[in-house]
Structure 1
Amino acid sequence: MEWTGARYADKPTVEVEMFIDAPPERVWQLVSDVTLMPSMSSELQRVEWQDGATGPRVGARFVGHSEHRARGEWQTTSQVVECEAPKVFAWVVEDPDDPTATWRFTLEPRDGGTTVRQWVRMGPGRSGLSEAIDRMPDKEQKIVYSRLREFETNMSATLAQIKERAETRTAQG
């Protein structure tokens, strides 16, 4: 992926992919359980469904509480925008019409298992990253590049944990 010249307004993206030796239905249970995500994330600390929602469905909202060494603590409200079991689960962060980010998992059956992709797009709405760019506009490309690298690292770690959980559970039956 080429990020070196990316600016926030370009809505840069990152995608990671992993093969998991478990059926899509099992992997779906893990990727669509947003309350499970904090146990697999160094940044996301806690998630609660809102408005009486108890699980994923289009329109359901959840609040995520996050922490980062450079930014401190914050929370965001997200809304599920795609939910097609066991294929696609996606949500937007903050304003659905002008999200600060869009996140998506896609699952494809392959060779008795599942190819999982996790994808994120920054922007177009303003985010905490926008505040850093406002303070140091001459460093925008470096700020965006660093955050994309963090996303890539964290997403790879999340998929590795999903893989371990899905394959362990499958092996146990």
Structure 2
Amino acid sequence: MEWTGARYADTPTVEVRTWVDAPPDRVWGIVSDVTLMPDMSDELQSVQWLDGAVGPAVGARFVGRSRHESLGEWETTSHVIECEPPHVLAWAVSDPAGPSAVWRFRLESKDGGTELAEWMQMGPGRSGLSFAIDSMPDKEQKIVFVRLREFERNMTVTLAQIKKLAEA
């Protein structure tokens, strides 16, 4: 990832891709089970569907609990905003109209397997990062850059875990 000098209000994004030697339906089975994600992440600790939901559908909600050594522990409610099996799963964190983040998995049939992409956007709604920026506004661009790099590293690990599971 290149230094962009992005500010939080710019809703910066990061995307990671990998090719998986498995068909999209198999990869979708893993990606769409968000309760598996804490096993693939140092930060995300647990995920639980809300309102009786047992899987993704537009409008379904889940609560995620996370931990980060600099940001502490927190809990967010996410809202599924796109669900097109076996191609797209996306959710908005907190308020779908002004999310603190948007996350999206895209799956595409390619070369006898699946090209899998994970994408995320910061903001435009406030997040835990907003408090760090509020306390050090002169360091906003560095804070955003460092957090995007963390997301990129974590997403790379997540995709590697999904690939391993799907190819097993």
Tell me the TM-score range normalised by the shorter chain. Answer: over 0.9
In 2, Cα distance between the equivalents of 1:16 and 1:52? 32
Structure 1 residue 20 displacement after superposition: 0.3
Tell me what 1:47 maps to. 47
SS at 1:139's partner residue?
helix
In 2, Cα distance between the equivalents of 1:77 and 1:112? 36
Tell me what 1:67 maps to. 67
TM-score by length of 2: 0.99
Structure 1 residue 2 displacement after superposition: 3.7
**Paired amino acid for 1:129:** L
TM-align CA RMSD: 0.7
Q: How does 1:110-125 map to 2 (within 5 A)?
A: 110-125=110-125
Structure 1 residue 112 displacement after superposition: 1.1
* Structure 2 unaligned blocks of 5 or more: none
SS at 1:56's partner residue?
coil
Runs of 4+ with deviation above 2 angstroms: 1-4
The count of residues paired between Structure 1 and Structure 2 equals 168
Identity %: 70
Preserved contact between residue 30 and residue 162 of structure 1 (Cα < 8 Å)? yes
**Paired amino acid for 1:148:** L
**Paired amino acid for 1:138:** D
Preserved contact between residue 4 and residue 142 of structure 1 (Cα < 8 Å)? no
SS at 2:35's partner residue?
coil
Cα deviations across residues 57-108 of structure 1 (Å, max 9, x unaligned)? Answer: 0000000000000011100000000000000000000001000000000000
* Structure 1 unaligned blocks of 5 or more: 169-173
In 2, Cα distance between the equivalents of 1:136 and 1:74? 21
Tell me what 1:82 maps to. 82
